[in-house]
Structure 1
Amino acid sequence: MTCALPEPPPRRKWRPWSRRTSLGQDLGVGILLFIVEAAVFLGVLFDYGMEIWAAQGQEDRIEAARSAELAWTQHFLVATLVLAGLALLSRAPWTVLSQLLAAGAVAVLLTLAQHDYDRRHPAPPPAPNPAYTPCYSGSGRCN
């Protein structure tokens, strides 16, 4: 008669994606991350606003601050999406939702800031056609 070997004890899986994050931890981390990100974002925007205010009409400093603000906002959006990806990997659905909401808000603010920047810096007019000869007589029949 053969004896069956006892089953080995289950191995504890240490990977974050091996089991779902508990609801309490998920909600706590999601809310905490959202509040911290909002505070950091508003603090940095306030800092750039103060830099623009301190420029006192010096256009080169104002433009440098606005460009730096746009670049920082783009990097912040990427960081928020990376945190959403890590939360997705950790199987924390409420944290993913809060990070996607934060990323959506940052994306809207970035789009509005980029639109404002583009409106302040229009593209130069196209170069005239080399074959064009202006008519200075006013008759409209220039040769």
Structure 2
Amino acid sequence: MARNLMSDDEWAFFEGFIRAVRHPNGRKPADHRLVLDGIFWVARTGAPWRDLPEEFGKWSSVYRQFRRWTLAGLWEDILDALNHAKLAPDKLQMIDSTVIRAHHHAAGAKGGLRKRLLAVREVGSRPGSISASTAQASR
């Protein structure tokens, strides 16, 4: 399942960036193509890291490499290169959820949900006759 998710042309594009951020430490290099496929699988599915299929390797190892590449600025470099190469259509936009903010009032307040439920109930139980609505209006 995990093999050959990324085409050879796609891997050729990403390989240069990955090798540029790799620090030589004397260890045998990991299968970065498989790790990258695992990262893309999590991004594509929205699944938690712990649900990463075993074919990609240990989820903790894939996450640790993702975190290293994030701290090294790999993703920004890749997006800049894609932007400058004009490989992605101009209409293709990406939303980064880290920049979406909500006002602190949007989190709700004491009794906020109860008040909204009461308001919905009141709107849903409008008077059934003219005389009832006239009586409420005269109050």
- Please indicate the TM-score interval, normalised by the length of the shorter structure: under 0.3
Larger Rg: 1
TM-score in terms of structure 1 length: 0.23
